[in-house]
Amino acid sequence: MTELLIIADPALLAERQAWLASLSDERRLAGHTLDAYERDTRQFLAFLTHHLAAPARLKDIGNLRPADLRGFLAARRRDGAGARTLGRGLAGLRSFLRHLERKGLANAAGASSVRSPKQPKSLPKPLSDRQAIAVVDAHEQLAEEPWIRVRNAAVLTLLYGCGLRISEALSLTPADFTGSPTSLRITGKGDKTRIVPLIAPARVGVEDYIKLCPFPLGADKPLFRGARGGPLQPAIIQREMQKMRGALGLPDSATPHALRHSFATHLLAGGGDLRTIQELLGHASLSTTQVYTGVDSARLLEIYDRAHPRA
Residue 293, CB half-sphere, CA atoms under 13 Å: how many? 30
Of the residues 70, 189, 192, 275, only one is catalytic, namely: 189
Which one is catalytic: 151, 225, 260, 261? Answer: 260
Q: Among 105, 46, 100, which Cα is nearest to 71's?
A: 46
Q: Rounded CA gap, 202 and 155, in Å?
A: 9
Among residues 37, 160, 209, 292, the one annotated as catalytic is: 292
Q: How far apart are CA 134 and CA 156, in angstroms?
A: 11
Among the listed residues 88, 99, 149, 165, the single catalytic one is 165
Choosing from 57, 194, 257, 266, the catalytic residue is: 257
Is residue 139 annotated as a catalytic residue, yes or no? no
- Has 292 been annotated as catalytic? yes
Within 13 Å, how many C-alpha atoms sit on residue 168's CB side? 28
261 carries an active-site annotation: no
In the annotation, is 165 catalytic?
A: yes
Taking the C-alpha atoms of residue 240 and residue 156, their distance in angstroms, rounded to an integer, is: 10
Instruction: State the Rg of the chain over Cα.
Output: 27
Query: Which listed residue (16, 203, 225, 283) is catalytic?
Result: 283
C-alpha atoms less than 13 angstroms from C-alpha of 233 in its C-beta half-sphere: 6
Which residues are annotated as catalytic? 165, 189, 257, 260, 283, 292
